[in-house]
Amino acid sequence: MASQSMVIVFGVVALLIAAATGGKIQFSYNGENGPLKWGSLSPDFSNCSNGRAQSPINIVTNDAVANPKLQPLTRDYVNEVDGTLINHGFNVGIQFDKESLGDLTINGKNYSFHQLHWHSPSDHTLDGERFPLELHMVHKAPDGSITVVAIFFRYGNPDALLKQVEGPLNELTSEKNGGGDGEAHVEVTSLKTHCLDKKTRKYFRYVGSLTTPPCTENVIWNIVGKVREVAKEQVDAIRAPVDAGCKDNARPLQALNGRKVEVYHGQ
């Protein structure tokens, strides 16, 4: 009877701990919880160590195979939307208030645009070059499958999207510096999205994974060939709110393991 009581007590304690931490496993980009340890942090993260189709990768342009069956990345998003700027601790992103900002069709399947986030420096590399920033636009199908449109940025003129969230980004940083724990949320309104659905004349496609735990595989990646520009101050603002161990939130490059990278060249 005593042992049964102890089991109940430990169960309650576990529930309290999960509630206090949001039930999330803490991971980082260096140290004991860094990328090489992700797979051992939780059974749910096993793909991070054992997966054979992981991301990110180095895109070698000369090795990419032209596929005439690939279609343009036609993205038709609503012109204006409200959302929430979120500091996840390991990155900063925007969750849109609408159920879907618009659709992207791949192989006859519709994927709805739900959220976006940034990595600095870039997760992927292009011919060995790592960029200051990479934007991930995450789309989900009704069956739960995922496709991501990724855009590289190099230093130059300010980015139109980040320019719209300068104030909210400063609020996120202020909350972090004030000692706030957990996720920080700041509302963003009337976000103009025209800068996100520009025509894509060239992109690379391969099948990989999420670049953060649980490293789920069978993610269709679409890496936009044209590199955009971003001001250094904007990259600094994206990096400022995240946890100290996640300032450089690029996962190490993963082996291709025989996977093929395809390329689309538009007219």
* Cα separation, 178 vs 8, whole angstroms: 37
Domains of the chain are 53-265 (3.10.200.10)
How far from the centroid of its chain's Cα atoms is residue 237's Cα? 17
CA gap 245, 242 in Å, rounded:
8
Check pLDDT > 90 for residue 228.
Answer: yes
Tell me the pLDDT band of 241, cut-offs 50, 70 and 90. very high
Q: What pLDDT is stored for residue 6 in this prediction?
A: 33
- Confidence grade of residue 106 (pLDDT, cut at 50, 70, 90): very high
Mind listing the pLDDT tens digit for each residue in 81-97? Answer: 999 999 999 999 999 98
The C-alpha atoms of residue 191 and residue 167 are separated, in whole angstroms, by: 13
Mean pLDDT of 108-120: 94
pLDDT in tens, 14-30: 333 233 334 578 899 99
Task: Tell me how far CA of residue 244 lies from CA of 54, 190, 250, in angstroms.
Answer: 25, 31, 14
Contact 16, 8 (CB under 8 A): no
Average pLDDT over residues 34-40: 97
At 176 the pLDDT is: 64
The pLDDT tens digits of the residues spanning 46-74 come to 999 999 999 999 999 999 999 999 999 98
Q: Quick one: pLDDT at residue 194?
A: 84
